Protein backbone atom coordinates (compact mmCIF):
# COMPACT_ATOMS: atom_id res chain seq x y z
CA UNK A 1 0.00 0.00 0.00
CA UNK A 2 1.35 3.40 -0.99
CA UNK A 3 0.25 6.29 1.26
CA UNK A 4 0.39 9.82 -0.11
CA UNK A 5 0.92 13.07 1.78
CA UNK A 6 -2.75 14.01 1.26
CA UNK A 7 -3.75 10.78 3.13
CA UNK A 8 -4.96 9.00 -0.02
CA UNK A 9 -3.55 5.60 -0.88
CA UNK A 10 -2.95 3.18 -3.70
CA UNK A 11 -3.00 -0.60 -3.33
CA UNK A 12 -0.39 -2.57 -5.24
CA UNK A 13 -1.17 -6.25 -4.62
CA UNK A 14 1.04 -8.93 -6.09
CA UNK A 15 1.78 -12.63 -5.77
CA UNK A 16 5.48 -13.34 -5.57
CA UNK A 17 6.19 -16.98 -6.18
CA UNK A 18 9.63 -16.10 -7.53
CA UNK A 19 12.16 -13.61 -6.14
CA UNK A 20 12.20 -11.55 -9.32
CA UNK A 21 8.58 -10.56 -8.72
CA UNK A 22 9.53 -8.88 -5.44
CA UNK A 23 12.27 -6.85 -7.10
CA UNK A 24 10.11 -5.94 -10.08
CA UNK A 25 7.26 -4.74 -7.86
CA UNK A 26 9.58 -2.68 -5.64
CA UNK A 27 11.03 -1.00 -8.73
CA UNK A 28 7.54 -0.36 -10.13
CA UNK A 29 6.50 1.37 -6.91
CA UNK A 30 9.73 3.37 -6.58
CA UNK A 31 9.32 4.55 -10.17
CA UNK A 32 5.71 5.72 -9.87
CA UNK A 33 5.43 9.15 -11.57
CA UNK A 34 3.98 10.66 -8.37
CA UNK A 35 6.41 9.00 -5.93
CA UNK A 36 7.63 12.40 -4.68
CA UNK A 37 4.21 12.77 -3.03
CA UNK A 38 4.49 9.46 -1.14
CA UNK A 39 4.77 9.63 2.64
CA UNK A 40 4.96 5.87 3.38
CA UNK A 41 4.84 2.42 1.83
CA UNK A 42 3.39 -0.56 3.69
CA UNK A 43 4.27 -4.13 2.81
CA UNK A 44 2.28 -7.07 4.11
CA UNK A 45 3.21 -10.57 3.13
CA UNK A 46 3.63 -14.15 4.12
CA UNK A 47 6.97 -15.82 4.17
CA UNK A 48 8.55 -19.03 5.33
CA UNK A 49 11.36 -19.67 7.82
CA UNK A 50 13.83 -22.44 7.07
CA UNK A 51 16.69 -24.20 8.80
CA UNK A 52 19.66 -21.90 8.11
CA UNK A 53 22.02 -24.85 7.78
CA UNK A 54 20.02 -26.02 4.75
CA UNK A 55 19.83 -22.58 3.10
CA UNK A 56 22.00 -23.36 0.07
CA UNK A 57 20.05 -26.51 -0.76
CA UNK A 58 16.61 -25.00 -0.16
CA UNK A 59 17.38 -21.75 -1.97
CA UNK A 60 18.08 -23.63 -5.23
CA UNK A 61 14.63 -25.19 -5.25
CA UNK A 62 11.58 -23.58 -6.86
CA UNK A 63 9.05 -21.95 -4.56
CA UNK A 64 6.61 -24.84 -4.91
CA UNK A 65 9.20 -27.20 -3.44
CA UNK A 66 10.75 -24.81 -0.87
CA UNK A 67 7.52 -24.20 1.04
CA UNK A 68 7.30 -27.86 2.05
CA UNK A 69 10.64 -27.56 3.87
CA UNK A 70 9.56 -24.55 5.98
CA UNK A 71 9.76 -24.72 9.75
CA UNK A 72 7.35 -21.79 10.29
CA UNK A 73 5.05 -19.51 8.34
CA UNK A 74 5.16 -15.84 9.27
CA UNK A 75 3.09 -12.80 8.39
CA UNK A 76 5.21 -9.71 8.00
CA UNK A 77 4.11 -6.09 8.14
CA UNK A 78 6.69 -3.47 7.17
CA UNK A 79 6.34 0.30 6.99
CA UNK A 80 8.87 2.43 5.14
CA UNK A 81 8.27 6.13 5.79
CA UNK A 82 9.61 9.33 4.26
CA UNK A 83 12.70 10.40 6.15
CA UNK A 84 14.02 6.86 6.53
CA UNK A 85 11.90 5.57 9.42
CA UNK A 86 11.14 1.87 9.20
CA UNK A 87 8.99 -0.39 11.35
CA UNK A 88 8.16 -4.07 11.19
CA UNK A 89 5.91 -6.55 12.96
CA UNK A 90 6.11 -10.32 12.52
CA UNK A 91 3.33 -12.73 13.43
CA UNK A 92 3.59 -16.51 13.45
CA UNK A 93 0.68 -17.90 11.45
CA UNK A 94 0.29 -20.81 13.86
CA UNK A 95 -0.56 -18.29 16.62
CA UNK A 96 -3.08 -16.13 14.74
CA UNK A 97 -5.95 -17.26 17.01
CA UNK A 98 -4.01 -16.25 20.16
CA UNK A 99 -5.31 -12.75 20.99
CA UNK A 100 -2.74 -12.24 23.76
CA UNK A 101 0.14 -13.05 21.39
CA UNK A 102 -1.20 -10.69 18.70
CA UNK A 103 -1.68 -7.92 21.27
CA UNK A 104 1.90 -8.28 22.56
CA UNK A 105 3.36 -8.28 19.04
CA UNK A 106 1.43 -5.14 18.08
CA UNK A 107 2.66 -3.35 21.22
CA UNK A 108 6.32 -4.00 20.39
CA UNK A 109 7.06 -3.18 16.75
CA UNK A 110 10.70 -3.19 15.72
CA UNK A 111 11.82 0.30 14.68
CA UNK A 112 14.90 0.89 12.55
CA UNK A 113 16.83 4.06 11.94
CA UNK A 114 18.73 4.94 8.78
CA UNK A 115 21.95 2.93 8.79
CA UNK A 116 20.56 0.03 10.86
CA UNK A 117 20.71 -3.42 9.26
CA UNK A 118 17.46 -3.86 7.36
CA UNK A 119 15.22 -6.75 6.53
CA UNK A 120 13.63 -7.19 3.16
CA UNK A 121 16.57 -5.97 1.10
CA UNK A 122 14.42 -6.23 -2.00
CA UNK A 123 12.56 -3.13 -0.73
CA UNK A 124 15.81 -1.21 -1.34
CA UNK A 125 14.61 0.95 -4.25
CA UNK A 126 11.66 2.19 -2.18
CA UNK A 127 13.81 2.63 0.94
CA UNK A 128 16.35 4.70 -1.02
CA UNK A 129 13.75 7.03 -2.49
CA UNK A 130 12.19 7.66 0.93
CA UNK A 131 15.48 8.18 2.78
CA UNK A 132 16.69 11.66 3.74
CA UNK A 133 19.96 11.17 1.79
CA UNK A 134 17.96 10.78 -1.44
Average the pLDDT over 117-126 and give the result: 76
pLDDT band at 113 (very low <50, low <70, confident <90, very high): low
Average the pLDDT over 83-111 and give the result: 88
Residue ranges of E strands in 1-134: 2-4, 9-10, 38-49, 72-81, 86-92, 110-112
- C-alpha–C-alpha distance, residues 79 and 110, integer Å: 10
Is residue 10 predicted with pLDDT exceeding 90? Answer: yes
Statement: the pTM of the whole predicted model exceeds 0.95? no
Is residue 121 predicted with pLDDT exceeding 80? Answer: no
Collapsed DSSP state (helix, strand, coil) of residue 73: strand
pLDDT band at 15 (very low <50, low <70, confident <90, very high): confident
Is residue 110 predicted with pLDDT exceeding 80? Answer: no
Collapsed DSSP state (helix, strand, coil) of residue 35: helix
60 versus 113: the higher-pLDDT residue is 60
Contact criterion met (CB below 8 Å) for 110 and 87: yes
* pLDDT given for residue 134 in this prediction: 53
Amino acid sequence: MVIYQDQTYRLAPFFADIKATFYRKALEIANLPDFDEVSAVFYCGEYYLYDATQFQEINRKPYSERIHRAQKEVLSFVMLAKGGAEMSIYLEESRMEDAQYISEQLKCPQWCRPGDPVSFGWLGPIRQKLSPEK
